[in-house]
Amino acid sequence: MARDGERVLFIATAEALDEAMQRRIAAHRRYRPEHWDTLEEPIGVTRAVRPLVDRYDTFVLDCLTLWVSNLLLEDEEASDAECAVLEAVRRLLDLIDAAGGRWILVSNEVGQGIVPASPLGREYRDVLGRVNQLVASRSDKAYLMVAGLALELKSLADPSPGA
């Protein structure tokens, strides 16, 4: 989807905290087109992207899953962590609305697996589910990728004739 863009900004939220993640990040970089710019920002995505929106026509945020994890781990003891994460996502979505262009937000569906054993794991799963719902509700399209195949979800949910 992003390959159609003339000026693409890839926004990476992963941090290379260990060798395995360093290898994953290096592999991602190799598969990205050379003319794409990359912004690495694990926490302050909206703040970092805001001054750049006029320079690009396409934005790829990879990924919401790690961004939410980073936000939750930033202050594990916060009693209102979910509210803070959802507010950060709303600020990003407001920036997207104001900026225009094509935005592709990548996330994972973590709610289809087992219930995590730890309280933080359960909170993460639940918060990411709410983030994904919020983002999908404000998106023109939402895709579920399975085995390399895209299933467009919003058209399936549209009860109107011909949808």
Q: Which residues are catalytic?
A: 28
CA Rg, the chain, in Å?
Answer: 16
Under 8 Å CB-to-CB from 108, ≥6 apart: which residues? 63, 65, 128
Tell which residue, 122, 115, 152, 124, has the closest CA to residue 136: 152
**63 alpha-carbon distance from chain centroid:** 4
Q: What are 151's strand-pairing partners?
A: 144
